[in-house]
Structure 1
Amino acid sequence: MHTAAAETVQPCPECGTEIRTDARFTTWCAACDWNVDPERAEEKRGRLARARRAQARRHGERLLAELSAGGNLSAHRDTSSILAVALSLVVHALTLAVTAGDVWFLVTGWGGWGMIPGIFLLALAWSLRPRFDGLPKDTPVLRRADAPELFALVDEIARVAGTRGVDAIAVDNRINASVASYGVRGRRLLTLGLPLWEALTPQQRIALLGHEMGHYVNGDTRHGRVVAAAFRSLITWHYYFEPVDHEPLDDTGALMLLLNVLYVLPRLLVRGILTLLDQLTLRATQRAEYLADRVAARAGSTEAALELMDHLLIADSAAVTLRREVNLAALSGPRRTGASADLTDGLWERLAADLASVPEHERDRQRRAGVLRGHSVDDSHPPTHLRHACLLIGEPAPPAVTTDTEREHRIAGELAAARARVARQIIRDGY
């Protein structure tokens, strides 16, 4: 098991204040914020990405101000959401027009040259069709019969959120968790990333599940079927208009060059519509995250929800630990033989111990750096420090759902096979 590095003490080169250092983490000063964010991740982002992150931050700040003033965020059908749905319907109308066009060409040109554009449009319409996601094929998927205790816990938390539970639970190697719908009937899928799940306390896990169940009741326009399908169609269109590689001196290359020139305007149009749809749904998506955080606090307690956010700030440490485990396994022996089973023993316990050993001064640095760079899980989420502030509005919520040691052991037993399989995948395939 990995142990924490010994701490040393040195003066700050800026203000002279005594600072504690740990060889595993960045040396910084809490008194003057010297070296608090040496990576300056925001500077590495492209101009458009920085603009989008700034827009997300502005939306997050406005929503937090509304909440602080006693506003109600539950009314999710605002003007932007309505416009997003309307724009999505226009996108779907284009798909229907392509479908109607291919039917017309095939019917009127059957047996003749008209079949060529008909077949082309048929293939295009097929690629643009609405799709229903299925269950993941490369990760363990649990049904109710496989994990009755875990599903019962999810059901209990779902009742707190005001919704029903899920139909399947997938387990993967991401430092994350998510919910989605699958199949024509819109069944519910919860995906648990073991590197996150294994690092949390039981109450923090309840808060995590509460957050995910909250997404089923918060009216996130972007993840509704109409808008989500429009995003997928637009991304497909954009792919078709991507520039084609070509050799300028070749005859075929000249044709590809001409196609690239012709693609410029359609590509810009599709990108513009994608950007507009993104902007129209960004506020609703951020509102959904705030509301999901409130469900997390109701289910697991405000304290557990806040601690969960702190874990997200040190997600990079979890990734570093897993990469180190992969490297150690590679040095210890072949990863694709039976020996790999021994190398995965205790992986999750070592990961949890490593994250638990992250000192408070490093967690504090991550919080301050997160404020400076507007850290968020991704560009669709409000900055983490704003979500943190939102949970502190009003009285702290006590836990509505609790668990005990016996229940935790039963859930761990239900996840045992998935834990072993995901650990083998990480050691075998890398991280």
Structure 2
Amino acid sequence: MPNKVKKRHLLDYSILIPYLMLSAIGLIMVYSSTSTYLVSQGKNPNGMIISQLQFWGLSLVAMFFIYKMKTTVFQNKGFIMFAIVVISALLLAVRFTTLGKEINGAKGWLQFGGFSMQPAEYLKIMVIWYLAFILGRRQKYIDEEFKKAVFRPMLLVGFLIFLVAIQPDLGNAAILTLLVIVMLLSSGINYMYTYIFGGLGIIGSVGVIETLVLTKGSFVPARYQYVYQRFAIFLNPFKDERNAGHQLANSYYAINNGGWFGRGLGNSIQKKGFLPEAHSDFIFSITIEELGLLASLLILAILMFMIARIILVGVRSKKPFNSLMCIGIGAMLLLQVFINLGGLTGIIPLTGITFPFLSHGGNSLLIISIAIAFVLNISADEKKQKMDQEYQMLANQ
């Protein structure tokens, strides 16, 4: 009888096991990349790993409760709108009140005593959740009445992304914008919009890059000059290795030092003051330096497998909300991987986006864990629905 099947028996281990493996690898790399830095600052070498472990413990608790919920709870309009109001208030507070803390030129953190949070990280899952709910409910007329179905939600989401951009945190703003496009193109709208969005995106990107190059960033406000600097040096960081190209050049050195098999765990040279943000934005460079290219590619393969499984759950889902949630979460992780690796290898300009699981950051780990819990719950719900249908068919025979 399907009703007798416990939810724990429906766990998708093809997603859960990679999650646990990547979390464990991430904790090891966080300790390896932060302990030396903390010692050089005269601090406890275990400080950052303790914080990361605390967030992982909180993440596991959150995952347990989210997995136990019914998926219908996620589609409660009042609950979703309350969460939107809360995240909007946090974004306004971080930018316009004294609670906001500036780190690396962006006022994107809220400080509460010894605890800090980055609202832009939480906004990623909220945008996916909100659009999955709205677009899922409007499936019947989304293709025929695109403006009616999409225009108002886009105004709200656009306002929230604007609040992130003015921090300024253009890396997360770019990810959020791309997430919105992915959600829209996955929602059932006419395929012609794919060409429209794609064409406008390519033309806009080329136009911005050419304008920055030709004007040398002269029209860019002082607060956003770092954007021009990243565009100016990403193709050849060695022409300004001591200044704007410092991070990217040392990322290349770290990758080169690692070779195929690495220098050994804990033996990175570049993390010892040469490569800023070694424990966050450039953690994958340190991973290659210490573990080698082969081991790093294996880690990347595990992550790609998990992302593929998440998207597959979305593709196979019968319910629009479930499908859009999983596709959005898969896209969120995939975009973070592409933008982070693209930046540290010089394929695209640096954006300050962390690498999923490996980078130090409790907020990022918590949000990824919550997203995985959503997917595990949806996967179990879809399995249960399939079992119920099969049982009903057998009962009718």
| Bin for the TM-score computed over the shorter chain | under 0.3
Q: Which has the higher contact order (CA 8 A, sep 6+)?
A: 2
TM-score, normalising length: structure 2 = 0.25
Q: TM-score of the superposition, structure 1-length normalised?
A: 0.24
Structure with the higher helix share, 1 or 2: 2
Larger Rg: 1
